[in-house]
């Protein structure tokens, strides 16, 4: 059931499709043409058949008419001939054979000698008279003689076409018997006729070139036959079957319409024929003509229809293409996120474009203008956007209309009729108008602005960043150079920001920065710039500032005071100060880099001066920077030229007072500047990475020295400091191994000192590395203990054997209860963890006394000895050995 | 019009014996016809018409079949050879449209016959011409 229904639907679909195809002109036209062609040919063949029938009938009529005529002529002629024979017979029987002919001639009863030969034969067959006169021959041997001799029927006799001795020409002999008075055979009357005579009636106009006239006897032998111009005789005639259909003649292959008529008297028959092809020639010609007409008609029709079809088909194709294009355009424009306006130019009388008509618009355009498409179509550009006349839009569109091409631009819309702010427009010149594709790019513009802002501003404080500050400074300088003004640049660095950040957390640090930024911004004018360079560095650019130092000082003081105001952070009151460095264009530099760099230098001077102050740049400040560079250069040379020396500071057991180890300390003996403090060059070396090379050298030197002491019978442990950079170096472990191997030193005589903060940066990795070293047999100690933030639990896991109390706790040990408490706590803690404790920087007896009383194990410091040459240590150890020996002794 | 036809005749008459062997077409002296054109003569002899142009009945008299004079006459007047003449008459007889003219053996017998009967028209040797007949055309 369902399947049937399905088939039904399908069939109906096919029918509908056929119907639709039929409706298409380019399909129906060929069908119609085909039917027309068929009709033409049907009609043509119908006419041809009708004409054939007509021609056939006409041929039959014609042959019948000719036959009638011929029959009549023959009947009359044969009658005349028989009449002549009878007249001769009469005259002969009356006058005798010799007198008969002249008698008849006299009376004009003889036929014309021109056509008929008349003669009389006697009973013996001898010709006795003739007209015209011929030789007197005997006809006794002729058939007719025998016939007449034997028969006295009173009938005429007709011979075959023959000739005799008297006449060389063939003739048909008509004869009658002459009787004597007794009724006996007396001779023969003869009339000879040329066979041509009987066919002379042939009319070419009626019977054509291949018509036929025939006279033949009942004996079936032809007496005279004419086909066209040719006359013959004597041939036998097969049964002629006269009918309505043409038959092929018995004498040739020509098909003829034939009629046969029997003639009375002599037992002859007359046959008439007309050639079918001749009779039908006109018809055939007409048939060909009709076929040609139909053919030409068909060709013309087909050609015309073909051209028409091509034209229609082309038209249909063009329409389809246009329709598709329109649909495509409609689909594209409907769905497009851009607004489409199709504008057609409106011209004034002089042909100038004065306005545009809105020919089409898509939904986005409706949205953009707030109008429906129909409303838009009723408007002109100027009536929709009056401002277009003056803001260049109309002029632009006119230009594009005239010039063509594709034009793109972005502009900020200020016309209230359009609901967008920023637009990107693409205008394409088309024939007599333009297509404007307008895109709302407000969002993109906003994003761009945001990105631009982000690129130029610090995300935390919203202040301009380094790039924008540099830009503004550049502008300020350009402007100042033009106006002869000054530009002030201030570098502001918060003094103890790191403490806040580390102590209260990053969020508190960020909050602090925001507050400080806001305060600084509050201190300056609108066209001044407060920027942040990152971290706790701020920069002020103050264009058009008076050149008076007093004004500048006032402003700097205002900022310093604003920053130092207490801030509530994470429930605590925090106070940060700042150090400010100032440089002024054009006095301190004429380009942004120089000004910023000089302000930076001035800021460092302020730091050096104890922070919480401001400094104006002076030329000397740059000297320190230059000095630093010179120092770095010197440091490189120092590594190459072995300008370092190692000094050793003894470590003393607080209980025994004996030197049990030394700390190796590097010194730089500059060939020109003399001894340079480690405080000056170590940070530089650390910063530049040279520390790795220096540290390795120190370690090798110290190891060799330790081996030397050992060899001298003075075994002491040598401590070597490992800087963070050195510690991070992947080669550290192998360097230590190499140094030990090189010096052939037992690892137990080497101690490495690392700082607490170094371990805390990445505790796990640091502890792992320390374990490796520890496993080698090298001992480890924590330097500067107390300054970092290591937790006690972490401390427990350190593979160390010694803690060193930082000198900062030691220095005030005599007076500060806090420091005493800290020292006591550290000592106690170390002992709890089974670590030895050493105090560094011990300079006084009081300090030594406190440490000893509180159980500190070891100490080092100026109280006992400053760092000294290795040889001094050797002497010291020898002395100690001697003392010990003497004590023992 | 008349003079134009008469003139050759007069010239011929004046030429006399110098023109021996020439044929003349004759009618009876009693016949009102004075001159005929060759084609008018031919029409009568070929049985195309049975009347003189003036309206009188005309009967042609011929010379015997095979006579050289006869052949010449038809060659000149009707532009037909003897064979064509025979075919012509065969057809005329067969179709019943006419009979050849009565034949006479020589010019003298023709002249004699024509002289007596104004209906007749014949042709003779010029030399056989006399006052009993009237030449209406000199055949040249």
Q: pLDDT tens digits for A11-70? A: 556 777 767 665 677 778 888 888 999 999 999 999 999 999 999 998 899 999 999 999
Distance in Å, alpha carbon of B98 to nearest chain A alpha carbon? 11
What is each CA distance from A41 to A45, A49, A281, A301, A429, in whole angstroms?
6, 12, 21, 12, 57
- For B90, the closest of A73, A115, A132 (CB atoms) is A115
In whole angstroms, what is the distance from residue A342 CA to residue A361 CA? Answer: 6
**DSSP tag of A221:** B
Cβ-based neighbours of A190, under 8 Å, separated by 6 or more? A117, A118, A119, A120, A121, A139, A144, A173, A174, A175
Greatest CA span in chain B, whole angstroms? 44
Mutate which of A83, A108, A115, A132 to test chain B, going by most B C-beta atoms within 10 A?
A: A115
Q: Percentage helix, strand, coil, to 5, in chain A? A: 50, 25, 25
Nearest one of A594, A576, A720 to A648, comparing CA atoms: A720
Q: Whole-angstrom Cα distance, residue A866 to residue A872?
A: 11
Nearest to A188 by CA among A245, A132, A119: A119
Q: What ipTM is given for this predicted complex?
A: 0.77
Asked if A80 and A286 count as a contact pair (C-beta separation under 8 A), the reply is: no
Other residues' Cβ atoms within 10 Å of the Cβ of residue A148: 28
Q: Are strands A644-653 and A659-670 parallel, antiparallel or unpaired?
A: antiparallel
At residue B85, the 3 state secondary structure works out as helix
Please report the pLDDT score of residue A775 as a whole number: 92
Other Cβ atoms less than 10 A from the Cβ of A300: the count is 10
Q: Which tokens belong to A200? A: 């002379």
CA of A49 to nearest chain B CA: how many angstroms apart?
38
- Nearby residues of A881 by Cβ (< 8 Å), 6 or more positions away: A713, A714
Cβ contact A226:A202 at 8 Å: yes
Interchain CB contacts (distance < 8 Å): A and B? 42
Contact between A73 and B99 using a beta-carbon 8 Å cutoff: no
Helix, strand or coil, per DSSP, at residue B138: strand
Q: What is the dihedral of CA A414, A420, A421, A425, to 10 degrees?
A: -90
Please choose, from the candidates B135, B125, B132, the residue with its C-alpha nearest in 3D space to the C-alpha of residue B30: B132
- Sequence-distant (6+) residues with CB within 8 A of B129 are B24, B26, B111, B135
Contact (CB<8Å) B93/A111: yes
Beta strands in A441-560 (DSSP E): 486-494, 529-534, 537-545
Q: Which two tokens stand for residue A291?
A: 């076929």
Q: Chain A contact for B88, CB < 8 A?
A: no
Of B86, B94, B102, which is closest to A201 when you measure between CB atoms? B94
Residues of B in contact with A112 (CB under 8 A): 89, 93, 99-100
Three-state DSSP class for residue B66:
coil
Q: How many helices (H) and strands (E) does chain A have?
A: 30, 32
Instruction: In whole angstroms, give the CA distance from residue B28 to residue B33.
Output: 9
Which residues on B lie below 8 Å from A114 (Cβ)?
Answer: 65, 86, 89-90, 93, 100
What is the SS3 assignment for A802? Answer: strand
Instruction: Note whether A780 and A773 are within 8 A (CB).
Output: yes
Q: Is A599 left (phi over 0), alpha (psi -120 to 50) or beta?
A: alpha
Helix residue ranges per DSSP H, chain B: 2-15, 38-45, 68-77, 82-95, 107-116
* For A196, nearest residue in chain B (alpha carbons): B90
CB contact under 8 A, B96 and A73: yes
Give percent above pLDDT 90 in chain B: 46
Question: Taking CB atoms and an 8 Å cutoff, what residues of chain B touch A201?
Answer: 91, 94-95
Torsion angles phi and psi, residue A172, rounded to 5: -95, 130
pLDDT digits (tens, 9 = 90+) for B33-55: 888 999 999 999 999 998 998 88
Residue A384 CA to residue A372 CA, distance in Å, equals 12
Q: What is the pLDDT of residue A791?
A: 60
Verify whether the Cβ–Cβ distance A200 to B94 is below 8 Å: yes
Positions of chain A with pLDDT lower than 50, given as ranges: 1-9, 889
Tokens of A140: 């006794």
Contacts of B86 in chain A (CB under 8 A): 114-115
Cβ contact (<8 Å) for A132 and B103?
no
Taking CB atoms and an 8 Å cutoff, what residues of chain B touch A73?
Answer: 94-96
Cβ distance A112 to B86 less than 8 Å, yes or no, reads no
Residue B3: the pLDDT is: 45
Phi and psi for A838 in degrees, rounded to 5? Answer: -125, 140
Contact A73 B102 (CB under 8 A): no
Strand order in the sheet with A406-412: A353-361, A339-347, A433-440, A422-430, A406-412
């Amino acid at each position: 059931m369902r399947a049937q229904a399905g088939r039904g639907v399908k069939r109906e679909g096919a029918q509908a499709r056929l119907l639709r195809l039929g409706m298409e002109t380019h399909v129906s036209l060929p069908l119609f043409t085909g039917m027309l062609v068929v009709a033409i040919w049907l009609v043509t063949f119908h006419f041809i058949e009708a004409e054939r029938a007509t021609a056939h009938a006409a041929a039959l009529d014609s042959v019948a008419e000719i036959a009638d005529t011929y029959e009549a002529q023959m009947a009359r002629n044969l009658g005349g001939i028989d009449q002549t024979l009878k007249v001769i017979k009469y005259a002969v029987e009356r006058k005798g054979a010799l007198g008969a002919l002249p008698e008849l001639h006299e009376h004009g009863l003889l036929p014309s000698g021109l056509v008929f030969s008349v003669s009389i034969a006697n009973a013996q067959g001898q010709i006795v008279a003739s007209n015209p006169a011929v030789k007197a021959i005997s006809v006794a041997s002729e058939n007719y003689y025998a016939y007449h001799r034997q028969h006295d029927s009173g009938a005429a006799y007709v011979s075959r076409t023959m000739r005799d001795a008297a006449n060389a020409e063939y003739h048909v002999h008509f004869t009658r018997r002459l009787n004597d008075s007794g009724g006996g055979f007396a001779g023969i009357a003869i009339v000879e006729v040329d066979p041509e005579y009987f066919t002379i009636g042939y009319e070419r106009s009626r019977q054509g070139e291949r018509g036929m006239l025939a006279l033949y006897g009942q004996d079936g032998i032809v007496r005279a036959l004419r086909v066209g111009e040719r006359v013959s005789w004597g041939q036998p005639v097969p049964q002629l079957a006269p009918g309505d259909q043409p038959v092929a003649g018995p004498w040739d292959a020509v098909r003829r319409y034939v009629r046969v008529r029997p003639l009375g008297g002599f037992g002859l028959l007359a046959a008439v024929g007309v050639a079918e092809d001749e009779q039908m020639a006109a018809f055939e010609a007409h048939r060909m003509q009709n076929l040609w007409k139909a053919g030409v008609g068909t060709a013309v029709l087909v050609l015309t229809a073909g051209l028409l079809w091509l034209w229609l088909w082309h038209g249909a194709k063009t329409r389809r293409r246009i329709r598709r294009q329109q649909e495509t355009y409609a689909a594209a424009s409907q769905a497009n996120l851009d607004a489409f306006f199709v504008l057609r130019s409106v011209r004034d009388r002089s042909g100038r474009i004065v306005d545009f008509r809105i020919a089409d618009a898509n939904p986005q355009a409706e949205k953009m203008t707030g109008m429906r498409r129909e409303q838009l179509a009723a408007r002109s550009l100027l009536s929709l956007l009056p401002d277009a006349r003056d803001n260049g839009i109309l002029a632009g569109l006119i230009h594009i209309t005239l010039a063509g091409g594709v034009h793109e631009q972005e502009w900020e819309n200020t016309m209230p009729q359009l609901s967008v702010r920023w637009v990107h427009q693409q205008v394409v010149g088309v024939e007599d108008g333009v297509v404007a594709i307008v895109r709302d790019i407000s969002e993109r513009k906003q994003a761009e602005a945001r990105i631009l802002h982000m690129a130029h501003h610090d995300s935390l404080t919203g202040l301009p960043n380094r790039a924008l500050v540099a830009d503004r400074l550049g502008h300020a300088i350009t402007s100042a150079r033009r106006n002869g003004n000054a530009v002030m640049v201030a570098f502001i660095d918060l003094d103890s920001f790191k403490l806040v950040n580390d102590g209260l957390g990053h969020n508190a640090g960020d909050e602090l920065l925001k507050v400080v930024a806001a305060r600084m911004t509050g201190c300056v004018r609108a066209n001044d710039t407060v920027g942040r360079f990152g971290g706790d560095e701020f920069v002020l650019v103050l264009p058009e500032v008076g050149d008076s130092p007093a004004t500048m000082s006032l402003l700097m003081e205002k900022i310093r005071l604003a920053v130092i105001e207490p801030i509530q952070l994470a429930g605590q009151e925090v106070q940060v100060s700042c150090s400010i460095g100032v440089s002024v264009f054009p006095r301190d530099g004429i380009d942004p880099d120089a000004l910023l760099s000089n302000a930076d230098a001035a800021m460092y001077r302020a730091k050096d001066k104890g922070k919480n102050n401001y400094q104006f740049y002076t030329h000397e400040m740059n000297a320190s920077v230059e000095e630093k560079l010179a120092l770095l250069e010197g440091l490189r040379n120092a590594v190459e030229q072995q300008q370092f020396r190692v000094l050793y500071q003894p470590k003393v057991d607080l209980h025994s007072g004996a030197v049990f180890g030394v700390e190796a300390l590097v010194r730089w003996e500059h060939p020109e500047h003399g001894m340079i403090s480690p405080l000056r060059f170590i940070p530089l070396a650390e910063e530049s990475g040279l520390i790795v090379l220096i540290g390795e050298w120190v370690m090798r030197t110290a190891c060799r020295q330790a081996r030397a002491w050992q060899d001298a019978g003075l075994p002491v442990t040598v401590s070597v400091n490992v800087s963070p950079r050195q510690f991070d170096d992947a080669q550290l472990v192998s360097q230590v191994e190499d140094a030990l191997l090189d010096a052939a030193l037992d690892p137990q005589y080497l101690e490495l000192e690392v700082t607490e903060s170094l371990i805390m940066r990445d505790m796990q990795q640091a502890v792992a590395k320390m374990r490796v070293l520890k496993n080698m047999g090298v001992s480890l100690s924590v330097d500067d203990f107390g300054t970092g933030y290591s937790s006690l639990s972490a401390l427990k896991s350190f593979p160390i054997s010694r803690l060193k109390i930082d000198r900062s706790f030691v220095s005030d040990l005599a007076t500060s209860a806090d420091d005493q408490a800290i020292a006591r706590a550290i000592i106690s803690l170390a002992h709890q963890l089974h670590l030895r404790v050493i105090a560094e920087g011990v300079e006084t007896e009081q300090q030594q006394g406190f440490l000893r009383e509180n159980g500190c194990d070891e100490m080092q410091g100026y109280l006992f000895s400053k760092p000294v040459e290795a040889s001094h240590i050797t002497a010291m150890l020898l002395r100690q050995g001697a003392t010990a020996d003497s004590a023992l002794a | 019009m008349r003079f134009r036809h008469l003139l050759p005749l007069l010239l011929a008459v004046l030429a006399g014996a110098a023109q021996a062997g020439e044929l003349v077409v004759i009618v009876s002296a009693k016949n009102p016809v004075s001159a005929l054109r060759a084609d008018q003569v031919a029409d009568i002899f070929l049985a195309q018409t049975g009347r003189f142009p003036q309206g009188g009945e005309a009967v042609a008299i011929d010379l015997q079949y095979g006579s050289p004079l006869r052949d010449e006459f038809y060659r000149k007047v009707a532009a037909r050879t003897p064979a064509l003449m025979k075919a012509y008459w065969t057809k005329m007889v067969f179709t019943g449209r006419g009979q050849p003219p009565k034949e006479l053996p020589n010019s003298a017998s023709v002249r004699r016959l024509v002289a007596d009967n104004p209906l007749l028209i014949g042709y003779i040797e010029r030399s056989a011409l006399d006052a009993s007949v009237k030449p209406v055309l000199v055949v040249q």
